[in-house]
Amino acid sequence: QKEVEQDPGPLSVPEGAIVSLNCTYSNSAFQYFMWYRQYSRKGPELLMYTYSSGNKEDGRFTAQVDKSSKYISLFIRDSQPSDSATYLCAISGSARQLTFGSGTQLTVLP
Amino acid sequence: ETGVTQTPRHLVMGMTNKKSLKCEQHLGHNAMYWYKQSAKKPLELMFVYSLEERVENNSVPSRFSPECPNSSHLFLHLHTLQPEDSALYLCASSQGGQPQHFGDGTRLSIL
C-alpha cells in the first residue's frame, strides 16, 4: 500500500463547477497537510497548508482534513480555466520529509 | 531575483557526460532539497541539506552527487547517467517547519 494515494485523473469540468480533489494516507503520524498546484513546465506552487483536522479556506479554495479517516480534500469553487493544472497533495510527519501523491490533472473547460 | 531559481532549465546529455544542475534560493531559508519528478509518479525526495547536514534517500544511485557550499546554493552533479534518469529535477527550500518552496526545475534528457 502506498503511503499516499491520489486519483491521477484526468479530471475535466466546465467553468464554474465545484471541483473536489482527494488524497488518502496510511500513516497516522502524519500531521502536516499541503496542496500544491503545478502548471505545465513549472514547479509546484504551494496553495494550502494545514496541520489540524477541519477546514481551512482561502478565497475559492478550501482544504479539508479528516485525521480519523486519513483523508484530505481540496475544493475549488467557481472553477476557472486558469485553474487547469496538476494538483499534488503532500503529507508528512515533519516538514522536511514530505510524501507526495502522484497528482491529479485538472482541466477546466471554458 | 526572488524565490528559488534553477539552471539550466533544459539539459540534454549523453550517458558518458558529466554535468551539474544549479539551484539558488533568495528566501533566507536554512534547508534545501533535490527531488526527481517522473511522469505519472510522485515526487521522489533525493537529498536534503539542513544546516549543512546532508540527509539522503538510500535508493538514489551514486551517479548523483549533491553539493551544498552554503545555505543559498545547491548543486547536483551528474555522472554516467542512464536513460531512466530522464526526468524533471526540482529544487526546493524551506525554513524551520514551514512548507517547502520549489523552483521550476531542470528538464533532463539522457540520450
Q: Which residues in chain B have their CB less than 8 angstroms from residue A98's CB? A: 43, 45, 100
Which residues in chain A are closer than 8 Å to B48, comparing Cβ atoms? 96-97
Q: How far apart, in Å, do the first and last CA atoms of chain B sit?
A: 33
**Gap from A44 CA to chain B (nearest CA, Å):** 6
pLDDT of residue A2: 74
For range A41-63, the mean pLDDT: 93
- Amino acid B52: pLDDT: 64
Q: What is the pLDDT of residue A95?
A: 61
Mutation for testing the A interface, residue in B10, B32, B100 having most A CBs under 10 Å:
B100
**Nearest CA of chain A to the CA of B33: how many Å?**
9
R_g of chain A, CA atoms, integer Å? 13
State the average pLDDT over residues A25-45.
Answer: 93
Question: Hey, are the CB atoms on B99 and A34 less than 8 Å from each other?
Answer: yes
Per residue in B18-28, pLDDT (tens digit) is 999 999 999 99
Mean pLDDT for A52-66 is: 93
B101 reaches A (C-beta below 8 A): yes
Average pLDDT across chain A, whole number: 92
- Cα-only R_g, chain B: 13
Asked if pLDDT for residue B1 goes beyond 60, the answer is: no
Strand order across the A4-6 sheet: A4-6, A19-25, A71-76, A61-66, A54-58
- Angle at Cα A96 formed by Cα B72 and Cα B40, nearest 5°? 100
pLDDT, mean of residues A42-58: 92
d(CA B90, CA B103) in angstroms, rounded, equals: 6
pLDDT at A93 over 90: no
How far is the C-alpha of A101 from the C-alpha of A103, rounded, in Å?
5
Nearest to B64 by CA among B32, B20, B104: B20
Q: Are A32 and A51 in contact (CB under 8 A)?
A: yes
Q: What is the pLDDT of residues B73-100, one digit of tens each?
A: 999 999 999 999 999 999 999 998 788 9
* Contact criterion met (CB < 8 Å) for B43 and A46: no
| Distance in Å, alpha carbon of A101 to nearest chain B alpha carbon | 5
DSSP string of A8-46? ---EEEETT--EEEEEEE--TT--EEEEEEE-TTS--EE
For position B54, what pLDDT does the model report? 78
In this prediction, residues A32-44 reach a mean pLDDT of 95
pLDDT at B45: 93
Q: How confident is the model at residue A51 (pLDDT cuts 50, 70, 90)?
A: confident
Chain B (17-76) residues lying within 8 Å, Cβ to Cβ, of chain A: 31, 33, 40-43, 45, 48, 50, 55
Q: What is the number of other CB atoms lying within 10 angstroms of the CB of residue A65?
A: 22
